[in-house]
């Protein structure tokens, strides 16, 4: 196991020992007076990093990203970035004054980096791989580098539920235990090129009937959190039929 995976595994164990509940969004947010005190305590640090963060602001302004500085205890002190992303981030309390320590949030880039005192990269989908691998009998399920990049760039309008449903279904097709781009829904794999002009000036061809069927099945799975029985019922077909169609379509 690589050093990065060991860091995440140790973080998962610490989070488990803290009693972090994965289905509960903890509201660990400082009141304005408390945040002011913390900022005053780190005034010198903020004076040093703020100019650099402001320079980065131009780069992340429209990149679905943000730059943040946090206290060693996990509280976010200052942030700049893409307004749309920051607005969406408010919904999960990714904002100034919010606490992101492992003790309150579990494994995450802010809290885990503070715990180990070194840079940490956390791809959300990796949290689910061990659970999904056990469900489907894939002991070392992993994401390809291309899938990791896509997951970092994709906006995830359905939030964590969509992420889990996509990974669970992709694992169904993952030969050799690695989830690759071709295992993801068509709308994700084609997201960057869809609708863009070709060199001849024409738009990309419309999706095939096969793609439409595949997307309909994945939409049903996303809406049922990956539950095959409920998805089959939603589509008006039997569960075994759904499995057969997925295997056939997934091999395209």
What was the pLDDT predicted at 200? 43
Distance CA 79, CA 48 (A): 14
Output the domain CATH number for residue 142.
1.10.8.60
Please answer whether residues 110 and 76 qualify as being in contact, where contact means their C-beta atoms are separated by less than 8 angstroms. yes
Distance CA 136, CA 168 (A): 9
185 with 156, same domain: the answer is yes
142 with 236, same domain: the answer is yes
91 with 134, same domain: the answer is no
What was the pLDDT predicted at 3? 54
* Helices 43-60 + 32-41 axis angle, to 10: 100
Residue 5 lies in a domain: no
pLDDT tens-digit series, residues 25-62: 667 899 999 999 999 999 988 888 888 887 777 776 66
Residue 47 lies in a domain: yes
* Lookup: tokens for 67: 């730059």
Among 116, 148, 169, residue at a domain's last position: 116
Provide the residue range defining the domain that includes 151: 126-250
Sign (positive or negative) of CA dihedral 103, 105, 108, 113: negative
Among 63, 94, 116, residue at a domain's last position: 116
94 with 139, same domain: the answer is no
- % of the chain exceeding 90 in pLDDT: 9
Helix ranges, the chain (H): 3-18, 32-41, 43-60, 83-90, 102-105, 109-116, 126-136, 145-153, 159-173, 186-189, 209-223, 228-235, 239-250
Question: Is the confidence at residue 123, as pLDDT, over 60?
Answer: yes
Question: Is the confidence at residue 225, as pLDDT, over 80?
Answer: no
186 with 158, same domain: the answer is yes
pLDDT tens-digit series, residues 92-103: 788 899 999 988
130 with 246, same domain: the answer is yes
Among 92, 116, 140, residue at a domain's last position: 116
* Lookup: tokens for 89: 């981030």
Which residues, other chains included, contact 167 with Cβ-Cβ below 8 Å and sequence gap of 6+? 125, 128, 129, 132, 179
What was the pLDDT predicted at 53? 83
What was the pLDDT predicted at 20? 78
Residue 8 lies in a domain: no
Residue 208 lies in a domain: yes
Q: What pTM was computed for the model?
A: 0.55
| Helix (H/G/I), strand (E/B), else coil: 179 | strand
149 with 197, same domain: the answer is yes
Least confident stretch, 152-161, 173-182, 231-240: 152-161
pLDDT tens-digit series, residues 10-30: 888 888 888 877 556 667 899
The total of structural domains in the chain comes to: 2
Q: How does the average pLDDT of the chain come out, rounded?
A: 77
100 with 168, same domain: the answer is no
User: What's the mean pLDDT in 178-194?
Assistant: 72
Question: Is the confidence at residue 193, as pLDDT, over 70?
Answer: no
Residue 52 lies in a domain: yes
68 with 162, same domain: the answer is no
Residue 162 lies in a domain: yes
Sign (positive or negative) of CA dihedral 160, 83, 121, 92: negative
Distance CA 235, CA 184 (A): 20
Residue 155 lies in a domain: yes
Output the domain CATH number for residue 92.
3.30.450.40
159 with 81, same domain: the answer is no
pLDDT tens-digit series, residues 100-113: 998 888 888 888 99
User: Among 244, 231, 121, which Cα is nearest to 168's?
Assistant: 231
- 99: exposed, middle or buried (Cβ count in 10 Å: 0-12, 13-18, 19+): buried
Residue 143 lies in a domain: yes
Distance CA 31, CA 28 (A): 10
Least confident stretch, 120-124, 148-152, 192-196, 209-213: 192-196
């Amino acid at each position: 196991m690589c050093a990065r995976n060991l860091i995440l595994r140790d973080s998962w164990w610490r989070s488990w020992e803290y009693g972090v509940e994965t289905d509960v969004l903890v509201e660990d947010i400082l009141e304005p007076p408390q945040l002011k005190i913390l900022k005053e305590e780190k005034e010198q640090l903020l004076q040093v990093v703020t100019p650099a963060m402001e320079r980065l602001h131009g780069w992340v302004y429209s990149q679905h990203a943000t730059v943040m500085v946090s206290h060693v205890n996990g509280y976010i002190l200052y942030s700049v970035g893409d307004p749309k992303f920051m607005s969406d981030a408010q919904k999960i309390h990714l904002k100034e004054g919010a606490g992101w320590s492992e003790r309150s949030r579990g494994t995450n880039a802010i809290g885990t980096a503070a715990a180990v005192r070194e840079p940490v990269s956390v791809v959300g989908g990796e949290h689910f791989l061990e659970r999904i691998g056990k469900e489907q009998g894939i002991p070392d399920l992993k994401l390809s580098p291309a899938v990791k990049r896509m997951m970092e760039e994709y906006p995830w309008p359905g939030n964590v539920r969509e992420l889990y449903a996509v990974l669970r279904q992709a694992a169904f097709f993952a030969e050799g235990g690695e989830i690759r781009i071709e295992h993801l829904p068509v709308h994700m794999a084609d997201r960057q090129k869809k609708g863009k002009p070709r060199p001849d000036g024409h738009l990309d061809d419309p999706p095939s009937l096969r793609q439409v069927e595949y997307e309909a099945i994945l939409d049903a799975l996303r809406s049922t959190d990956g539950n095959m029985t409920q998805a089959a019922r939603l589509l008006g077909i039997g569960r075994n039929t759904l499995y057969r169609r997925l295997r056939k379509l997934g091999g395209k």
